[in-house]
Amino acid sequence: MRRPFIAANWKMNKTIPEALDFMHAFLPSVAGVQDADIAIAPPFTSLFAIAERFVGTNVSLAAQNVFYEEKGAFTGEVSPVMLKDAGCDFVITGHSERRQYFHETDEIVNRKTKLSRKHGLGVIFCIGETLAERESGKTFSVLAAQLAAGLKGVDPANLVVAYEPIWAIGTGKTATTAQAQEAQAFIRKELRSLYGDAADSFRILYGGSVTPENIDGLMACPDVDGALAGGASLTAGSFEKIVKFTRGITP
């Protein structure tokens, strides 16, 4: 049995007071949840300000991005060492918005992922196909290539994979449970070729318009081990419902 992993990606949302307000409501509301890992990725500016709130709770702090060098003349960048220092346990790498708007290649994602693991950060490593790739039958080849290049030489410990079909992100158009299951079973098969039997213990998250309404169906899929929620994680009540999805449903 894989332990569910439910993560929030706030993207470029919330000031420090807004982040603190969220924690005030959210942390006590999920304090009793003992059968899932929970993580929240606020913007960089809030990390240190809210880190103290996470100490002794069942929720981990995550960053949305990281640079692939430890220190030096890289204006505007933040290293894995700095993220650890600010109180982070996890970092998201390979998010499609980073790939799309900031031209991150598989090689860059790989360097970020490797250096983060070297410094003891857990990594939520994201992959996913565009609508055009899906419609031209390339979904599996795209996912296989992103996995092989992005995870080259990456230590599998504390690594979580997130399948986020780009056409489902922020669009309200969630993948069907059949589409999520099919892609995530494929991802597990690829992980087996990269990591052998360890693939069975990998958490593979689904991301893309996850809501309190569709989380139960997604979590019932055998290869969906969690969720990465964007828009629906911005209010404490909504993210609480996602964390408290109905356990034990079979597809």
Footprint on this chain of ligand PGA (rule: CB under 6 A): 9, 164, 169-170, 207-210, 228-232
Nearer to ligand PGA by C-beta: 171 or 193? Answer: 171
Q: Is the dihedral of CA 53, 158, 168, 216 positive or negative?
A: negative
**Marked catalytic residue, from 95, 133, 190, 240:** 95
Measured from the CB of residue 214, what is the shortest distance to ligand PGA in angstroms?
Answer: 10
Nearer to ligand PGA by C-beta: 46 or 75? Answer: 46
Measured from the CB of residue 210, what is the shortest distance to ligand PGA in angstroms?
Answer: 5
Nearer to ligand PGA by C-beta: 170 or 196? Answer: 170
Measured from the CB of residue 163, what is the shortest distance to ligand PGA in angstroms?
Answer: 11
Measured in degrees and rounded to the nearest 5, phi and psi for residue 106 equal: -60, -35
Contact yes or no for 149/110 (Cβ under 8 A): yes
Cα separation, 141 vs 186, in Å, equals: 10
Q: Is 103 a catalytic residue?
A: no
Measured from the CB of residue 169, what is the shortest distance to ligand PGA in angstroms?
Answer: 4
Nearer to ligand PGA by C-beta: 9 or 46? Answer: 9
**Marked catalytic residue, from 129, 164, 190, 240:** 164
Q: Is 164 a catalytic residue?
A: yes
Cα separation, 230 vs 211, in Å, equals: 9
Question: What are the Cα distances from residue 64, in Å, to 88, 180, 185, 210?
Answer: 10, 23, 26, 18
Cα separation, 106 vs 114, in Å, equals: 12
Q: Which residues are catalytic?
A: 95, 164
